[in-house]
Structure 1
Amino acid sequence: VERRSASFALRMVVHIVGDVHQPLHAADGVDANHPGGDIGGNARRFLPDCNATNLHALWDSGGGRYSLHWVSTKPEWEAMRAALLRDARQMVQNRTAVAAMDPLRFASALETATWEEAVEALSMSGGFGLVRQMIGESAGIAESEVFVGLQMNPHSFGGPLPCPDAAYFANAASVSTQRIIVGGYRLSFFLRHIAARLRRQGLLVQGGDNVFFGVTNAWEAAPNAALH
């Protein structure tokens, strides 16, 4: 395996594991206005005076807590990155408390597992492994949290919806924070096993042209990665 291929695969793992904890990455809303599904909430547009353009964007931003517009100029980017890192560190101050927030109990299945055991626990050879359980969990949260408290009927068919109220945004921010914490915690187990595997294959290095920086300190890195 080339380092470039391993680098790309690692980026995809970080992206997908983090993304699946956003409820609308695992669910579609189906109703009379969207009989074929709402594309993960993207088709449920809000009126122009809303702080979110659509339902998916609202949840992508953590209920308005984070900006969806990544800036390219250095001062603004550094300020945004510093804020994300500050949030990430606050979220993971107590690892024991975070572990208790994980209903799928990743630690029990993966803490001391071998590579082969971890792969089996995650996939269950095509059965209902931890990966599918993560997806199902997010879909359940979409049903219980995302589609509750919304005005779902536009003034005209296919038209924009009224903006959700402040209570909805506050709940979305609270739920999103919990999802980021749990997602980052779970991601740390993926990264630990992958880092050990790459190290054995001579692919994990520090420095140079590679992107494996900080993987050995996966628990600190993972929650921040899950923010995106």
Structure 2
Amino acid sequence: MKQRILALIVIATLCAAQPAFAWFNGGHELAAYIAYQKLTPATRARVDALIKLNPMYGQWTVDVENSRKPLVAFMKAATWADCIKQASCAAGYTSDGGNTPPGNPTDDQNIGYADKLMHQYWHFVDTPYSAGAPGQPAKTPNALTEIEKLSAAIETDESDDIKSYDLVWLEHLVGDIHQPLHATSRFTVNHPQGDAGGNFIYFCAKPCSDELHAYWDGLFGDTPTIQQLSENATVLLGHPKPAGAESLDVASWVTGSFDFAKSAVYTTPISEDNDPTVKLSPRPDAHYRSEANRVANEQILRAGYRLANLLNTKLK
């Protein structure tokens, strides 16, 4: 078995424009893999049936042997909320305000797969980190409010179509909120309106778009094989259960990620971003990479446990 859990993506390859995701597919699929191992038999059977209602189920499971289809589909479902942002993956979805809630009644609607809005603003909560400029309150709806809303919805007798939609969003959002830069926006002299969770902290000049948020998103890669995910999950599941693994308090999840943002993300050598003459941040060094890997592994393991506990407790 591999002893090294995961290698960092070579960030220099990210110099083409990237959409703002939280963990690339590798992180979301790894958290889902871990969660699936912790589901009770009854919850797993319910999850398997609901995932089949997603319109992409056939694509996720083509050429997958029957015995592995439920696990693979559950893992792929964790990436669906990012997939619908890309026409090349899932056509027909509309960006309704981008990363800012437009203030419409549809912002937090829960109508199942009939909803063709991307809801990009559901993926994060910009807890303000005042580090040189006053912070601004996080906008709603956001990842915190939606996880709470969808968690409550799956306890009800809503239709299976809507429950399937809620399930795949919960898979994704629970992973999202454990990426520290999806739980904060840092307010500084250079970015008095916030840095959008590190998206505006660049390591290189345009047209290169290599930046802090993408660095953290990429810690688990984007296209790992099932074998790689299985090996990595086995190593992580061999670790002690992380603190707070059984917590259903979503606000505390956000607080934990926010604390990691301050202690492990916005740290040396990342720029303090308060000198107007300094436009770029130094790149992460070896020490930073080591700490980033440690935090990312801990958070993915925690996300997997919490997702399983949430579904075991609430899914009907």
Give the TM bin, normalised by the shorter chain. 0.5 to 0.7
Offset of residue 158 of structure 1: 7.4
Runs (5+) with no aligned partner, structure 2: 1-157
Please, what TM-score do these two structures have when normalized by structure 2? 0.45
Q: 1:33, 1:157 within 8 Å by CA — same for their partners in 2?
A: no
Q: SS in structure 2 opposite 1:61?
A: helix
Go from structure 1 to structure 2 and tell me whether the alpha carbon gap of 1:93 and 1:39 turns closer, same or farther (over 3 Å shift). same
2:266 counterpart residue number = 147
Matched to 2:227, the amino acid is A
- Change in Cα spacing, 1:105 to 1:151, as seen in structure 2 (3 Å) is closer
Superposed CA RMSD in Å reads 2.5
SS at match of 2:186: coil
The Cα of 1:38 is off from its aligned counterpart by 0.4
1:114: which partner in 2? none
> Which amino acid letter does the alignment assign opposite residue 89 of structure 1?
T
Aligned residues between the structures: 156
Counterpart in the other structure of 1:45: 202
Question: Is it true that 1:55 corresponds to 2:200 in the alignment?
Answer: no
Q: 1:133 aligns with which of 252, 256, 269?
A: 252
Listed as ranges, the gaps of 5+ residues in structure 1 are 71-78, 110-121, 123-129, 198-228
Counterpart Cα distance in 1 of 2:227 and 2:245: 30
Q: Distance in 2 between matches of 1:2 and 1:150?
A: 50
User: Aligned in 2, Cα 1:33/1:105: closer, same or farther, shift over 3 Å?
Assistant: same
66, 87, 90: which one aligns with 2:235: 90
Instruction: Name the structure where helix makes up a greater proportion of residues.
Output: 1
Question: In structure 2, how many angstroms separate the alpha carbons of the residues matched to 1:87 and 1:105?
Answer: 19
Q: Is the 8 A contact 1:14 1:187 kept in 2?
A: yes
Sequence identity (%): 30
Q: Is the 8 A contact 1:46 1:53 kept in 2?
A: yes
Offset of residue 8 of structure 1: 0.8
**Residue 187 of structure 2 aligns to a residue in which SS?**
coil
- State the distance in 1 between where 2:188 and 2:229 align: 36
Contact 1:17/1:187, CA 8 A, preserved across alignment: yes
Q: SS of the residue aligned with 1:84?
A: helix
| Structure 1 runs of 4+ with >6 Å offset | none
Normalised by the length of structure 1, the TM-score is 0.61
